[in-house]
Chains A and B, each alone.
Chain A
Amino acid sequence: MSQVNGYDHEEFDEEEQIDLEAELEEGYAEIEQKYAVDTQRGFENVLVVDNIPIVDESKKQRLVDRLRAAFEKNGAGIDEDRTNMPWDEKAGTNKGFIFLTYPDAAQAENALRSLDGLAFSKAYTLYVNRFGDIERYANMPVGEGELPTGWKEKPYVEKDHLRSWLADPHGRDQYLTFRDQDVNLFWNGRNGNAEPVRDADGKVVKNSKWGELYLQWSPLGTYLASLHRVGVALWSGPKLDGPIGVNVLRFTHPGVRYITFSPCENYLITWSDEPLPNPESHPLPAVREAFGPEDEGNQLVVWDIKTTRVLRTFATEPPAPGPDGVVRARPWESFKWSPDDAYVARCNVGQAIQVYELPEMGLLDKKSVKLEGVQDFEWCPMSDKDWEARKAGKGKECMLAYWMPEATNQPARVNVMGIPSRNVLRSKNLFNVTDCKFYWQSQGDYLCVKVDRHARKARTKKATLSNLELFRVRDKDLPVEVIESKDLVLQFQWEPQGNRFAIVATNDPAHGSGVPGAVVKYYVDIYQLDAKKGDFALIRHLDGKVANTLMWAPKGRFLVLATVGQTTKFDIEFWDLDFSTDDNPNSKKEVEPGANLTLLGTGEHFGVTELAWDPSGRYLASIASAWRMTSEPGYVIWDFKGQELVRNPQEKFKQFLWRPRPPTLLTKEQQRKVRRDLKDHSRIFDEEDAAEENRGSAEKLAQRQRDIAEWDAWRARNNARLAQARKARGKEFINKKNVSDQQADEKVEEWIEELIDETEEVIVSKV
């Protein structure tokens, strides 16, 4: 063994030899791999249809014919010579599946979508797979019940409490402001004291990542959704932060623009204006993981929030215009959730409503609800009673209302349908319809269908007047009452949990003329259900308003009218429908409906673009968002009486969002008790109010005292330094401004001569 440079040469050679062998072996493997027949590729146009009936020789041809007819009916017709049904010679029957060879992969893909899950007969539901997939799944390296190799057990991380913010000792609500890139979260204290939200360690809850596109709360306030260019993130817990997959959930969907939550926060829909590129070659690993090849080109994704998995993706098409040529539903709004998260439905305008069952996201009963001409629909919300009944297992099924325009020899119709039974519960014919809008009362007690109509012989189908079709949903057979308005009703809103509603309407010819800067006069009508007669009656007509927006407080009773998005008018009016000077809230004095309607206060907010009540209904935020081209962005918080509490104009202000609250957990009995003991409670609140006010002003006072002390000290230092420098210079500075002070104080006397009158008389003397 020779030792050169400290290396052992013989051993080195040996190693080389081994390397060579290994290399050769590798080479063979490579060649083998290269020329191996790939059973998973090249068969993209072949499908395997499973679970077909087993028949003998005599029925073979009939079966093939019937199958082909079924395929044809579902838009995936195939020639007979392209089918191949394997035959079990021993048993004399078929093997229970059939191969379909389509001319190309695209057609096969199409057939896969329409045929998979097809009910061929009652007993036989067809299962369709790609030919390649069968092999692929059969050869999975993992047996049933085993964990795949490379599986790492993730340690269990406990979630932070998702609803901790509700435990605020003062019962305050949170709001979020988004300015430029900066997102801040505040507690809305009494009298407008805003306090930054802090976590348990006293750190301000804030995240620089939030301000990328825009933000949205989930409907019950559990999650804060932030939109990013690559997808959506949901933040929860007291810190609104935490480990990914625990308190932060990520949903990767490149180019996402809009999101909607399901009402119970179980599911999320994201919509992107970019169709999904081929996920298999996508640079983002999360996209490769989340989506499969069948998702390519789709724009709308339904997610399960808890698992962050994709349930299904959909292609969306630009929406079709309605009968008057106006495009209404936008693609991300076309999916609507039932109130219990059991279904999501989409209106295939003109053809059908497709109801998908969750969480499988399969079509309800495997077929869509065919409705010729259907334009739009809306789910009926559920009341507290409905929820209780549902829990007790006696709940009613969900309902939705939809409408169809006039067709030949057929009037337009509004129907209410039960889901999943598909029973039509009520149908109402309508005439000269341009558009219908559905307004369900928050408890699902009433449904108003606002029918915008055109004149009978009108050439254009432009709407000129509106009807309100009021369905009393809780009564037998859903009786309908019609309120005909001669004018166009622009806004409609039910009082939440109440039996009143308000409309904004106009007969001003300036409306819709498109003249910029024209002040359009509107009027506001308030209606109430007369309990005795059982119909809705007008209780107040407010004429000559410029207010174009109305908004009920979330607990009802209070109504705000505002002029939004105008440059010349920007007032906000606060109305109380049950104003009473009677101190005793329990006295049940009969009053004329509408008699207690009182204007509590008015305010102005220049450039206001949006209004938002806080969840308690005690505060209203008026928002001027820079996104809506206002010249003075910012927000103002008012109390329900119209008192301005906070005014905060901010450059580049974009969003103001109250954090929603889930429904109360108190039972009806407990709520009644709270109302009964209101006087005792309010005494405590008054004390707290006073304490907070003192604390707030004490803090401010201390801050100001510090400011003054700092300033005085700084000035004393600087003055001393300057005086010294002057002295050193030997040039005493005489502040001429002060020397001349006395002169300036001299009284300036002014003589004003005024010519009061001047007359000229010519005296003519007679000679």
Chain B
Amino acid sequence: MKPIILQGHERSLTQIVFNAEGDLLFTASKDHIINVWFTSNGERLGTFGGAVGGAKHNGTVWTVACDSESKYLMSGGADNTMRMWEVNTGKCLKVWEYETAVKRVAWSEDDELVLGITEQRQGQPSIIRVYALNREDGASQSDEPIQTITLTGSKATVALFAPLSDNILVGHESGKVSKYSVKTGEEVLVNEDGHRGEITDIQLSPDGTYFITSSKDKTARIWDSETLDEMKVYATETPLNSACIAPLRPYVILGGGQDAMAVTTTSQRAGKFESRFWHKLFEEEVGRVRGHFGPINTLAVHPQGKAYASGAEDGFVRVHWFDESYFRSRPFGDLEPEVEV
């Protein structure tokens, strides 16, 4: 499995996402720009916030999300803005400004809604805002959210829309996993000690009935989207920054590594900067992919399960197309769950 290495950022990666077809990869970085790449060959298609299109983030881009038609792109950054971009032109269509940085954005499954989480800082609480978008005319968007959820208690770090987009699934700094209603803005369900440390990533399964969270507590867990019941736990020996669920094969991919602060004091061996493949059902590690020399900050899997990509503190993105052997191999013999699509 020879990776395609994408070198287009001067600083560490914060979030990467595939589009629905898996032919494009959007990468957000601390160097203020978002790049988009052809996944098949690693060619850079363009930059959001580069010379063309302008209106680039004036600070770290913390988060990026693409709709299912690859028409619009949302991003949020440390310059206290959330931005909406047109994918095929790279034009910035709309800028929402807040008091604090935007840490996470997400689309609903029907592309009608987006959410953005703002950071808790300078006396400002952490807020999740939900906007209804005008999909016909991308440039004319409402400034006002349709719902504002102000979080009391532990701040939200990551969030996404549950299937049907009635609810938002939220991961908190305290390790709490909760569910908020879009309609009322109320917390409808909560699992107070889901994780023992900050939740760093949340990603949905292909059909949306379950989701995975990764945490600084060195575990990743799978949850029932409906009941927030914990289904599976993957315990590693390193703080995790990202986790995703591979379609087609019964694996989850976890990535992390020591804090960037501690990296300089240890060897690469000790850093554990590998992508780990775990069997989704048996909770056993089945393989590792090396290559990065900094902690992995973000992982994304090809929506059809043909590839995965990792973005790390070292500034590189590595796209791995799975070999034929990946699909054929049966590390646990003939025991296989039903294939999920």
Q: Which of A632, A708, A725 is the most central at the interface, judged by chain B CB atoms within 10 Å of its CB?
A: A708
Cβ-defined contact, A744 with B22, below 8 A: yes
A741 CA / B41 CA spacing, docked (Å): 19
Report the Cα distance A741→B207, complex, angstroms.
Answer: 15
Q: How far is the CA of A705 from the CA of B332 in the complex (A)?
A: 11
The CA of A735 and the CA of B209, in the complex, are separated in Å by 14
Interface centre among A634, A729, A741 (most CB of B within 10 A): A741
Minimum CB–CB distance from B71 to chain A (whole Å) comes to 11
Task: State whether A737 touches B266 (Cβ < 8 A).
Answer: no
B303 adjacent to A718 (CB under 8 Å): no
Cβ proximity bits A116-139 to B, threshold 8 Å, 1 near / 0 not? 000000000000000000000000
Number of interface residues of B (CB under 8 A): 41
A744 to B164, Cβ gap below 8 A?
no
Q: In whole angstroms, what is the CA distance A649 to B288 when docked?
A: 15
Q: Which of A92-100, A151-159, A666-674, A709-717 contacts B (4 or more CB under 8 A)?
A: A709-717
Which residues of chain A come closer than 8 Å to B333, judged between CB atoms? 701
Is the pair A718, B335 in contact by a Cβ cutoff of 8 Å?
Answer: no
Docked-complex contact A743 and B21, CB < 8 angstroms: yes
Contact of A722 with B209 in the complex, beta carbons under 8 Å: yes
Which of A650, A704, A726, A737 touches B206 (beta carbons < 8 Å)?
Answer: A737
The contact string, 1 if C-beta is below 8 Å from chain B, for chain A 728-767, is 0101010111101101100010100000000000000000
Specify which of A634, A649, A704 is in contact with B332 (CB 8 Å cutoff): A704
Interface residues in B269-293 by Cβ distance below 8 A to A read 269-270, 281-282
Residues 644-680 of A, flagged 1 when their CB comes within 8 A of B and 0 if not, give 0000011100000000000000000000000000000
Contacts of B41 in A (CB 8 A): 748, 750
The CA-CA distance from A124 to B304 in the complex, in Å, is 99
Asked if A740 contacts B21 (CB within 8 A), the reply is yes
Asked whether, in the complex, the Cβ of A708 is within 8 Å of the Cβ of B281, the reply is: yes
Return A756 CB to nearest CB of chain B, in Å.
21
Indicate if the CB atoms of A736 and B266 lie closer than 8 Å: no
Q: Does B340 contact A (CB under 8 A)?
A: yes
Say yes or no: is B237 at the interface (Cβ < 8 Å to chain A). yes
Given A704-B335, A718-B209, A651-B237 contact (CB < 8 Å): yes
- Binary CB contact string for chain B from 96 to 129 against chain A (1 if under 8 A, 0 otherwise): 0000000000000110000000000000000000
Asked if B281 contacts A711 (CB within 8 A), the reply is yes
Q: Is the CB of B23 within 8 A of A744?
A: yes
B188 beta carbon closer than 8 Å to chain A = no
B226 interfacial contact with A, CB 8 Å: yes
Query: Measured between C-beta atoms, what is the minimum distance from B56 to chain A in Å?
Result: 29
A731 to B333, CA, bound (A): 40
B341 and A738 within 8 A (CB): yes
Question: B-side binding surface: helix, strand, loop or mixed?
Answer: loop
Residue A606 is within 8 A (CB to CB) of chain B in the complex: yes
| Contact, CB under 8 Å: B164 / A726 | yes
Contact of A631 among B38, B110, B225, B270 (CB under 8 A): B270
Contact across chains for A748 and B206 when beta carbons are under 8 A apart:
no
Residue B153 at the A interface, CB < 8 A?
Answer: no
A567 at the interface (CB under 8 A from B): yes
Query: Quick check: B163 and A722 within 8 Å, CB to CB?
Result: yes
B23 cross-chain contacts in A, Cβ below 8 A: 744, 748
Q: Report yes or no: B210 in contact with A737, Cβ–Cβ below 8 A.
A: no
Which of B20, B206, B224, B231 counts the most A-chain CB atoms under 10 A from its CB? B20
Question: Per-position contact with A for B47-88: 1 when CB-CB < 8 Å, else 0?
Answer: 000000000000000000000110000000000000000000
- From A715, A721, A736, give the contact of B68 (CB < 8 A): A736
Contact of B335 among A701, A715, A748 (CB under 8 A): A701
Within 8 A of B (CB), among A557-612: 567-568, 606-607
Closest residue on chain B to residue A606 by CB atoms: B269
Given known pairs A649-B237, A737-B20, A737-B206, the reply for A705 and B335 (CB within 8 Å) is yes
Contact of A748 among B40, B209, B282 (CB under 8 A): B40
Does A740 lie within 8 Å of B208, measured CB to CB? no
A707 contacts the other chain (Cβ, under 8 Å)?
yes
Inter-chain contacts of B206 with A (CB < 8 A)? 735, 737
Which residues of A sit under 8 angstroms from B267, Cβ to Cβ?
A: 567-568
> Complex Cα distance A244/B206, Å?
58
Specify which of A705, A722, A743 is in contact with B207 (CB 8 Å cutoff): A722
Q: Does B172 contact A (CB under 8 A)?
A: no
Q: Is B94 an interface position by the 8 A CB rule? A: no
Task: Point out the residues of chain A lying under 8 angstroms from B209, CB to CB.
Answer: 715, 718-719, 722
Contacts of B207 in A (CB 8 A): 719, 722, 735
CB contacts (< 8 Å) of A705 on chain B: these are 335
Does B193 have its Cβ within 8 Å of any Cβ on chain A?
A: no
Question: Is A718 a contact of B210 with CB atoms below 8 Å?
Answer: yes
> In angstroms, how far is the closest chain A Cβ from the Cβ of B199?
18
Residues of A348-373 whose CB lies within 8 A of B: none
Residue of B nearest to A723 (CB): B207
Contact between A711 and B335, CB atoms less than 8 A apart: no
A743 to B206, CA, bound (A): 18
Q: Which residues of A contact B337 (CB under 8 A)?
A: 708, 711-712
Interface string of A448-481 (1 = CB under 8 A from B): 0000000000000000000000000000000000
Q: Are A707 and B208 in contact (CB under 8 A)?
A: no
Q: Which residues of B contact A719 (CB under 8 A)?
A: 207, 209
A171 vs B21: C-alpha distance in the bound complex, in angstroms?
59
Q: CA separation between A701 and B335, bound complex, in Å?
A: 8
How far, in angstroms, from A704 to B282 measured CA to CA in the complex? 7
Do the beta carbons of B20 and A736 come within 8 Å of each other?
Answer: yes
Please name the residue on chain A nearest to B235 by beta carbon: A651
Interface centre among A607, A707, A712, A721 (most CB of B within 10 A): A707
A701→B336 CA distance, assembly (Å): 12
Q: Is B218 an interface residue (CB 8 A)?
A: yes
CA distance A242 to B332 in the complex (A): 43
Task: Please report the C-alpha to C-alpha distance between residue A714 and residue B332 in the assembled complex, in whole angstroms.
Answer: 21
Distance of A181 from chain B, by nearest CB (Å)? 15
Q: Are B304 and A718 in contact (CB under 8 A)?
A: no
A610 to B232 alpha-carbon distance, docked (Å): 34
For A651, give the chain B residue with the smallest CB separation: B237
In the complex, chain A residues whose CB is within 8 Å of the CB of B137 = none
Q: Which of B299-341 contact A (CB under 8 A)?
A: 303-304, 306, 332-333, 335-338, 340-341
Interface string of B190-217 (1 = CB under 8 A from A): 0000000000000000111110000000
Q: Is the CB of A736 within 8 A of B69?
A: yes
Nearest A residue to B210, CB-CB: A718
CA distance A736 to B110 in the complex (A): 10
A454 to B38, CA, bound (A): 70
Contacts of A738 in B (CB 8 A): 341
Task: Using CB atoms, name the residue of chain A closest to B237.
Answer: A649
Contact in complex: A715, B338 (CB < 8 Å): yes
Question: Beyond the given A708-B335, A725-B164, A729-B164, could you list 12 further A-B residue pairs with CB under 8 A, ordered by the A residue number?
Answer: A568-B267, A606-B269, A704-B332, A707-B281, A708-B336, A714-B224, A722-B163, A737-B20, A737-B304, A744-B306, A748-B23, A748-B40
Listed by A's residue number, 15 A-B pairs whose Cβ atoms lie within 8 Å are A567-B266, A649-B237, A704-B335, A707-B281, A711-B231, A711-B337, A718-B210, A718-B225, A719-B207, A719-B209, A722-B164, A731-B110, A733-B110, A737-B21, A737-B303
Chain B residues within CB distance 8 Å of chain A: 20-23, 38, 40-41, 68-69, 109-110, 163-164, 206-210, 218, 224-226, 231, 237, 266-267, 269-270, 281-282, 303-304, 306, 332-333, 335-338, 340-341
Closest 6 CB pairs of A and B: A718-B209, A737-B303, A736-B68, A744-B21, A740-B21, A748-B40
